[in-house]
Amino acid sequence: MNKINYGFDASAIMRNMIIFGATLIFLGLLIPYFFDSTVLKYISYVIILVAVVLLILGTSMYVYGIKGKFKMRDFVLSKIDWKGNENVLDIGTGLGVYMIGAAKKLTTGKSIGIDIWRAEDLSNNTMENAYKNAELENVRNKVEILNEDACKLSFANNTFDVILSMYCIHNIEDKKSRNELVMKLQEY
Ligand SMILES: C[S@@+](CC[C@H](N)C(=O)[O-])C[C@H]1O[C@@H](n2cnc3c(N)ncnc32)[C@H](O)[C@@H]1O
């Protein structure tokens, strides 16, 4: 990876929705063309409707990946009154879009990203690629990336001034662990 790349969330799901959507549209349009049946005509309408929904969802995920992610990140970070000396934690940093965005606001502070690098959650999801992004964005000296599970955080209380997390905590399937994490974050 020699270019800045923040990946696509759930890229396999996004790709499958676009491929299935396009295939179903094609199928839905072909059915009435080949069969002269009222029932099949209505079935083709349903197929086209499902296809359109899949295409809208898949395309929205794509647009979020290339544009929306950055707009959302900038909006979230603009809500913080940055001093420049903050210690920041980004939980489920992935390729570092929030960790690096925060690092750009810092002068003496540090932006720490943690993750367990689940490939199914984000395309090209590795710690190495996150560090590569930090280098390409010229904030390598302001970030630190750790291989750490959000459910087993090792930081001492009162370590962080800002805690960020985007599209990570919902991945923790066990409700108890999710709630424990949210409670623990109050202590940081
Ligand atoms: C959808 S990605 C979002 C990545 C990044 N926040 C962004 O907005 O681009 C979710 C990230 O959460 C990470 N993740 C999932 N469960 C985690 C856990 N228990 N602890 C730490 N990271 C986790 C995944 O590996 C993935 O990088």
Based on the domain organization, do 27 and 86 belong to the same domain?
Answer: no
pTM value is 0.91
Q: Is residue 6 part of a domain?
A: no
pLDDT value of residue 183: 87
Based on the domain organization, do 96 and 56 belong to the same domain?
Answer: no
Based on the domain organization, do 30 and 89 belong to the same domain?
Answer: no
Q: What is the residue with the minimal CA distance to atom 8 of ligand 1?
A: 166
Q: Is the CB of 70 under 6 A from ligand 1?
A: no
Residues of the chain with pLDDT under 50: none
pLDDT value of residue 1: 63
Q: Is the CB of 181 under 6 A from ligand 1?
A: no
Q: Is the CB of 47 under 6 A from ligand 1?
A: no
Which of 42, 58, 74 lies at the terminal end of a domain, its last residue? 74
Specify which residues 112 forms β-bridges with. 89, 144
Q: Is the CB of 145 under 6 A from ligand 1?
A: no
Q: Is residue 4 part of a domain?
A: no
Based on the domain organization, do 27 and 100 belong to the same domain?
Answer: no
Based on the domain organization, do 128 and 88 belong to the same domain?
Answer: yes
Based on the domain organization, do 156 and 67 belong to the same domain?
Answer: no
How many distinct structural domains can be found in the chain?
2
C-alpha 120 – ligand 1 centre gap (Å): 10
Based on the domain organization, do 166 and 104 belong to the same domain?
Answer: yes
The domain containing residue 34 runs over which residues?
Answer: 11-74
Based on the domain organization, do 139 and 69 belong to the same domain?
Answer: no
Q: Which atom of ligand 1 is nearest to the CA of 117?
A: 25
Q: Is the CB of 151 under 6 A from ligand 1?
A: yes
Based on the domain organization, do 146 and 130 belong to the same domain?
Answer: yes
For the CA atoms of 30, 33, 35, 40, what is the dihedral angle to 10 degrees?
Answer: 60
